[in-house]
């Protein structure tokens, strides 16, 4: 339960002393971690048993005590001032070796004057932002483990969503029980956990610690009379080697996790060191140049659906490269190499040409795909030949410019030069549509959105990873839906992997989406086969694949 859940309840108006302890006691007891409520003056009124136990006191002893008595002496004196100036939440140290006490205001729904102070002692199990805050405060070396439970969908499909949730709860308890002292964890997305292990870990050391964790986590368990054998994939990153801020470290661990999905590698990977970029460049630059000249590249098409109706509204074009010697390459790897070696303009031209030729061929065969999304990188906008080529190619293939959506990642949008911005405006005037891609991974914010003529925002999958249960992500998406509607921009959620994410996105009013749960990236032939179905309506089936619906 979160602060948002508590505020949603009819909080009593009136003087703090009038707080009826009975129902609130029950609510606090049911929270996932130790919690207490204090009044505006900072006097403890309701204390959960877990909260008292953690502080080595009894609830009776603590009730009526000042909050100031709980925290370390240095913070003690300035507390009233801190509380008055507190906007959202405040973290205060209770003891040097323990996670800090978190304070946040709860405003009574029916009385502006009465406000209550919620005190929480995060367990080893935290909320994501608390984990991030602790990482920032900690400052020292850590290992970050990104664990993903395998086949949760299967459990949900066979035993129901509640059973899936129960399984994750059991695993969270197991995790809390087997973590070394000082380690912390949080739920990350539906089937994922993040674990922070303080210390300067060698790669052997961290793999050994992980081994211990996994053997406890992967013990068989019985759920609704079924015996389950949970299995995890894990990505590991270490600070400072893989990043000294939380963002880069998290990305490194996530990337390592994603690589475990690509067989035949094992189910646990360490993040690659920073010099990996250089090694990739050395290894891939030459073969990529050859592939660009010859037949090495291919396109995949990932359907984009209107969520409410499952109607296919377009597809995103994704570049694929299967080198005869090196094998299939990870797109973000070779795209980065193409940018670093200035081959991205040539690659971009190849993608545009192949995508438009395919779209025109489908048109001629009567298999019309309304709209196509093409990823472009900022460097392509700097290329003097890039923009005229795009326009010329659209005309040559007899297509209308408004069927092409140019996707530009938020991180690129922030760094655009004045010339590139002019080019974007020019493209918009010519009828091309513009999309801000991976929204939420950069820091452009909504302001940038209104400064450039975007007709689409693609919300990065990290912002919807926990949308089915995290009130913060839900609130953020709701704000995005409202802003997008107000500025006439279409919102597309990326990376929808579970039916519950889909349901939540629908109920929050997000209109469009793409993701493995709806449809994976398809080959041109698969896409054409699906387009040729007379109904043209798509639905995700229970196994997460795509089939063409009846209606
Ligand atoms: P993107 O533009 O955000 O493309 C979406 C990526 O998310 C694709 O990865 C897609 O396979 C993946 N994806 C789709 N649904 C899901 C899902 O449900 N869960 C998860 N975890 N992932 C999902 P891909 O193909 O590996 O491409 C990665 C990135 O490489 C793209 O991100 C894009 O930035 C870049 N890229 C791909 N093709 C091109 C291209 O032709 N030109 C340029 N400049 N960049 C490209
Ligand atoms: Mg994209
Ligand atoms: Mg994207």
> Is the pTM above the cut of 0.85?
no
Closest atom of ligand 1 to CA, residue 338: 44
Which pLDDT score is estimated for 451?
A: 73
Measured CA to CA, the distance from residue 410 to residue 438 in angstroms comes to: 6
Check residue 315 and give its pLDDT.
97
Counting ligand 1 atoms within 8 A of each CB, the residue from 328, 494, 512 with the most, and so the one to mutate, is: 494
Q: Which residues lie with the beta carbon below 6 Å from any ligand 1 atom?
A: 302, 318-319, 331-332, 335, 351, 375-377, 407, 409, 437-438, 461, 494-497, 514-516, 521
HSE (CB half, 13 Å, CA atoms) of 136?
9
Residue 270: what pLDDT? 55
Check residue 227 and give its pLDDT.
77
Q: Do domains 3-120 and 125-273 have the same CATH topology?
A: no
pLDDT tens across 219-268, in order? Answer: 887 776 677 888 899 999 998 888 888 888 998 998 888 877 654 333 55
pLDDT digits (tens, 9 = 90+) for 307-341: 999 999 999 999 999 998 888 898 989 999 999 89
pLDDT at 225: 67
Check: CB of residue 144 under 8 Å from CB of residue 253: yes
Which ligand is nearest to the Cα of residue 301, counting in written order? 1
pLDDT for residue 257 = 87
From ligand 1's centre to the CA of 378, what distance in Å?
Answer: 16
Longest CA–CA separation in the chain, Å? 81
Give CATH superfamily name and number for 3-120. Answer: PAS domain (3.30.450.20)
pLDDT value for 86: 66
Sign, CA dihedral 483-486-488-490, equals: positive
Per-residue pLDDT at 548 exceeds 70: no
442 or 202, which is more confident? 202
Residue 21: is its pLDDT beyond 90?
Answer: no
pLDDT above 70 coverage of the chain, percent: 78
* 93 compared with 191, residue with greater pLDDT: 191
Domain topology for 125-273: Alpha-Beta Plaits (3.30.70)
Residue 545: per-residue pLDDT: 40
pLDDT higher than 70, residue 468: yes
End-to-end CA distance of the chain: 40
111: pLDDT strictly greater than 50: no
Give domain limits for the chain.
3-120, 125-273, 303-315+345-535
- Which helix (H) or strand (E) is 502 found in, with range? helix 499-508
Average pLDDT over residues 68-93: 69
At residue 447, the pLDDT reads: 62
Instruction: State the pLDDT at residue 229.
Output: 84
Q: What is the DSSP string of 10-45?
A: ----S-GGG--HHHHHHHHHHSSS-EEEE-TTSBEE
| pLDDT score at 543 | 40
**Average of per-residue pLDDT across 173-194:** 81
Mean pLDDT score, 88-101? 63
* Nearest-CA residue for atom 24 of ligand 1: 331
Mean pLDDT, rounded, of the chain: 81
pLDDT at 402: 97
pLDDT band at 96 (very low <50, low <70, confident <90, very high): low
Going across the sheet that includes 232-239, the strands are: 125-126, 184-187, 192-198, 142-149, 232-239, 268-270
Q: Which residues lie near ion ligand 2 (Cβ < 5 Å)?
A: 375, 407, 437
Ranges 26-30, 262-266, 348-352, 421-425, most confident: 348-352
Please tell me the predicted confidence (pLDDT) of residue 426: 93
Q: How confident is the model at residue 182 (pLDDT cuts 50, 70, 90)?
A: confident
Say which DSSP state 272 is in.
P
**By alpha-carbon position, which residue is closest to atom 17 of ligand 1?**
495
For ligand 1, atom 25: residue with the closest CA: 318
Q: Return the minimum-mean-pLDDT range out of 30-34, 228-232, 482-486.
A: 30-34
Find, among 518, 524, 526, the residue nearest to 545 by Cα. Answer: 518
Mean pLDDT of 490-505: 93
Pick the more confident residue, 535 or 182: 182
Residue 165 CA from chain centroid, whole number: 19
Q: Please compute the mean of the pLDDT values over residues 95-114 and round it to a whole number.
A: 60
Q: Residue 99: CB partners within 8 Å, gap ≥ 6?
A: 121, 122, 123, 124, 126, 130, 134, 184
Q: How far apart are CA 243 and CA 142, in angstroms?
A: 10
- Banded model confidence at residue 79, pLDDT cuts 50, 70, 90: confident
Listed in order, strand segments (DSSP E) in 124-265 are: 125-126, 142-149, 184-187, 192-198, 221-223, 226-228, 232-239
Residue 551, pLDDT score: 33
Q: What angle do CA 279, 283, 287 make, to 5 degrees?
A: 155
pLDDT over threshold 90, residue 107: no
- Please, which residues bridge with residue 223 across strands? 226
Could you tell me which residue, 68 or 235, shows the higher pLDDT?
235
**pLDDT, tens only, 337-353:** 999 899 999 999 999 99
Q: Rounded to 5, what percent of the chain is helix, strand, coil?
A: 45, 25, 35
Distance 495 CA to ligand 1 centre (A): 10
Name the residue with higher pLDDT: 117 or 501: 501
Q: Span 278-287, mean pLDDT?
A: 88
pLDDT of residue 298: 96
303-315+345-535: what fold? TIM Barrel (3.20.20)
Kindly state the average pLDDT of the residues 25-45.
77
Q: Say which ligand is closest to the CA of 332.
A: 1
Q: Determine the distance separating the centroid of ligand 2 and the alpha carbon of 65, expressed in angstroms.
A: 55
CA-nearest residue for atom 8, ligand 1, is: 318
Model pLDDT, residue 506: 94
- Given this model, what pLDDT does residue 275 score? 64
Confidence of residue 546 (pLDDT cuts 50, 70, 90): very low
């Amino acid at each position: 339960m979160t602060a948002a859940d508590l505020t949603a309840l009819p909080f009593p108006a009136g003087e703090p002393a009038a707080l009826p302890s009975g129902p609130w006691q029950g609510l606090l007891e049911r929270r996932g971690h130790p919690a207490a409520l204090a009044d505006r003056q900072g006097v403890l009124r309701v204390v959960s048993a877990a909260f008292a136990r953690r502080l080595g006191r009894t609830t009776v002893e603590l009730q009526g005590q000042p909050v100031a008595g709980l925290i370390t002496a240095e913070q003690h004196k300035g507390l009233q001032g801190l509380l008055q100036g507190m906007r959202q939440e405040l973290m205060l140290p209770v003891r040097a070796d323990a996670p800090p006490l978190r304070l946040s205001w709860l405003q009574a729904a029916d009385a502006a004057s009465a406000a209550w102070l919620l005190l929480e002692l995060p367990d080893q199990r935290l909320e994501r932002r608390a984990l991030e805050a602790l990482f920032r405060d900690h400052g020292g070396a850590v290992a970050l483990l990104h664990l993903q439970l395998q086949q949760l969908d299967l459990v949900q499909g066979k035993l129901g969503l509640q059973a899936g949730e129960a399984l994750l709860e059991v695993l969270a308890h197991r995790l809390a029980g087997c973590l070394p002292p000082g380690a912390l964890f949080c739920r990350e997305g539906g089937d994922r956990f993040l674990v922070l292990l303080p210390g300067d870990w060698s790669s052997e050391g961290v793999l050994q610690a992980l081994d211990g964790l996994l053997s406890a986590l992967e013990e068989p368990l019985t759920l609704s009379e079924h015996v389950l054998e949970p299995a995890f994939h894990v990505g590991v990153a270490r600070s400072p080697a893989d990043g000294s801020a939380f963002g880069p470290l998290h990305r490194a661990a996530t990337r390592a996790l994603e690589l475990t999905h690509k067989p035949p590698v094992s189910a646990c990977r360490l993040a690659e060191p920073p010099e990996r970029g250089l090694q990739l460049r050395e290894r891939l630059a030459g073969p990529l140049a050859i592939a660009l000249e010859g037949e090495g590249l291919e396109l995949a098409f990932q359907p984009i659906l209107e969520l409410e109706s499952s109607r296919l509204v377009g597809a995103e074009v994704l570049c694929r490269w299967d080198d005869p010697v090196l094998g299939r390459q990870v797109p973000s790897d070779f795209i980065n190499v193409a940018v670093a070696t200035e081959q991205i303009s040539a690659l971009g031209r190849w993608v545009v040409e192949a995508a438009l030729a395919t779209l025109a061929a489908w048109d001629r065969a009567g298999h019309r795909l309304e709209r196509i999304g093409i990823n472009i990188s900022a460097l392509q906008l700097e290329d003097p030949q890039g923009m005229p080529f795009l326009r010329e190619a659209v005309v040559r293939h007899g297509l209308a410019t408004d069927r092409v959506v140019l996707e530009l990642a938020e991180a690129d949008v922030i760094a655009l030069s004045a010339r590139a911005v002019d080019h974007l405006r020019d493209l918009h005037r010519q009828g091309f549509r513009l999309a801000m891609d991976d929204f939420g991974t950069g820091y452009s914010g909504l302001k940038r959105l209104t400064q450039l003529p975007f007709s689409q925002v693609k919300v990065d999958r990290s912002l919807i990873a926990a949308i089915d249960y995290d009130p913060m992500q839900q609130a953020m998406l709701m704000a995005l839906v409202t802003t997008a509607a107000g500025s006439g921009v279409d919102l597309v959620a990326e990376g929808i992997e579970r039916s519950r994410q889909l349901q939540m996105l629908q109920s929050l009013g997000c209109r469009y989406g793409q993701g493995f749960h709806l449809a994976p990236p398809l080959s041109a032939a698969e896409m054409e086969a699906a387009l040729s179905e007379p109904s043209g309506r798509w639905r995700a089936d229970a196994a997460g694949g795509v089939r063409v619906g009846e209606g």
